[in-house]
Amino acid sequence: MSEKIVNKIIQEMLQVLDNQQLIKLKECLYKNLTSDGMKMDQDLDNEILLQRYFSAKRTEGCSERSLAYYKKTIEKLTDDLKILVIKITTDDLRKYLTDYQIKHHSSKVTIDNIRRILSSFFNWLEDEDYIIKSPVRRIHKIKTRTTVKETYSDEELECLRDNCSQIRDLAMIDMLALTGMRVGELVRLNIDDINFLERECVVLGKGNKERMTYFDARSKLHLQSYLDSRSDSNSALFVSLKNPKSRLTIGGIESRLKYLGNKSGILKVYPHKFRRTLATVAIDKGMPIEQLQELLGHKRIDTTLHYAMVKQQNVKIAHRKYIG
């Protein structure tokens, strides 16, 4: 009964008090209406809260690269506002986002990415009872223009393959193009993760979740030729060209693909484009969206739909088949 009374009072005061005042009110109500009271951490500061938040995200399996981006974004907010995060209001955030966009000439996409990261942080503060209500709740997703993302054509993929002077690069392009795995997943692959008999491999995706990906006969031959050419004992599937052999990094793959793109006369060659290309081809050829979701390792199906861009010619054919 006491908890229902406390929650009712807190709900009625949401529009009147800020988060810190609401927490103090809740603490006072619990202390006077319940026998055990409500324990609060009196020594909280932004640094402690950020440490606890990133510790939680790391436990959830968030990559270090993503954590670094989150950290930079949230610390920029705290440095600029110079306010204890549990005191930050919706109006503070709206003004911050507006000022940021003007100062940095940022696109709507950039501002919405910042909003999304702040939403994750303040939702965590709410879930952990550091604040009563996230101030980001009333800041809605910023509408942005949907653009058709670029994919590789069949000719471009073959051109990239033709310009590979190293068997490693050929095998690497095959694995990106045929499996649809993320570049971060590719660099973590070990030789033991590959099952040549079944032409499949186990990748460690987001949230430390394992899933199966698959490749074709040509990829198998290129990959076997590459491994046969190596004399090192490194367990990594892809290693540097120079000695001593070390596991290839994300940056190493990105720079190598850029080099191959320049050599082939193809603009904007980067790892993620292979993943988007596979998704688009799969949808165009009729692969069920649920199976594609599993192949790409997406938690939500709308993410899969965002990746897969249906070709206009196929829309035209479908229209003639089902409507006209």
pLDDT digits (tens, 9 = 90+) for 52-103: 999 999 888 788 888 999 999 999 999 999 988 988 989 999 999 999 999 9
User: Of 174, 182, 179, 191, whose CA–CA distance to 247 is shortest?
Assistant: 191
* Cα separations in angstroms, 109 against 113, 136, 141, 228, 303: 6, 17, 10, 45, 16
Average pLDDT on 238-253 reads: 94
**3-state SS string over 152-213?**
CCHHHHHHHHHCCCCHHHHHHHHHHHHHCCCHHHHHHCEHHHEECCCCEEEEECHHHCEEEE
Pairwise pLDDT comparison (255 vs 131), residue with the higher score: 255
Q: Mean pLDDT over all residues of the chain? A: 86
Among 229, 222, 46, smallest CA distance to 130 is for 46
Q: At 203, give phi and psi (nearest 5°).
A: -115, 150
pLDDT at 19 over 80: no
Residue 110 CA to its chain's centroid (Å): 15
User: What sections of 88-139 are H helices per DSSP?
Assistant: 90-104, 108-127
Lowest mean pLDDT across 115-124, 132-141, 173-182, 272-281: 132-141
Q: pLDDT tens across 84-94, in order?
A: 898 898 999 99
- Here the tokens at position 151 are 């994919």
- The pLDDT of residue 245 is 94
Q: What is the pLDDT of residues 112-140, one digit of tens each?
A: 999 999 999 999 998 988 887 899 988 98
Backbone torsions φ then ψ of 241, nearest 5 degrees: -80, -30
Q: Are 238 and 186 in contact (CB under 8 A)?
A: yes
pLDDT recorded at residue 39: 45
Give residue 213's pLDDT band: very low, low, confident or very high (50, 70, 90). very high
- The mean pLDDT value for 271-289 works out to 89
